[in-house]
Amino acid sequence: MHISTSEQLVFLCIMVTIGILINCFTLVTHIFCIIISLTVLIFLIYRLYFNYLYRRKIDLRISSSVFDDNTSLILIANTYFILAMYNATWISLTLRTFAGDFSLWNNILDLGDSMTCRMQVGILFFLTCALYHSFLLQALSRFINIIYMSRLNTMKICKMSPNDIWFYILLIMVSWFVSFLLVIPAYTTFNVFSYFPEQYHCLISFSNVNGFIYSMLVSYLIPVCPILYIYSRVIFYVRRLPKRGVLIRTKREVTVIKHILKTCFGISILGLPTLFFLFQYIITGRIHPLADRIHELCLAINALGFTFGFAVLNSFIHILPQLPAVHERNNVMNIQDIDL
Report pLDDT for 267.
Answer: 58
Task: Render pLDDT for 87-128 as a digit per residue (tens, 0 to 9).
Answer: 999 999 999 998 888 877 767 778 888 888 889 999 999 999
Half-sphere exposure of 161 (CA within 13 A, CB side): 12
* 3-state helix, strand and coil shares in percent for the chain, rounded to the nearest 5: 75, 5, 20
Residues composing the chain: 340
Q: What are phi and psi of 107, to 5 degrees?
A: -85, -10
Q: Are 146 and 247 in contact (CB under 8 A)?
A: no
The full set of domain ranges for the chain reads 24-54+63-339
- On whether the pTM is more than 0.85, the answer is no
Residues of the chain with pLDDT under 70: 1-4, 54-69, 106, 149-161, 242-256, 259, 262-271, 311-340
Run of H or E including 194: strand 193-196
CA–CA dist 207, 211 (Å, integer): 9
CA–CA dist 118, 196 (Å, integer): 11
What single-letter DSSP state applies at residue 111? -
Closest among 336, 327, 338, 340 to 64, alpha carbons compared = 327
Q: In angstroms, how far is CA 269 from the centroid of its own chain?
A: 16
Report pLDDT for 124.
Answer: 93
Task: Render pLDDT for 154-189 as a digit per residue (tens, 0 to 9).
Answer: 555 556 667 778 888 999 999 999 999 999 999 888
24-54+63-339: CATH number: 1.20.1070.10
Q: Are 253 and 145 in contact (CB under 8 A)?
A: yes
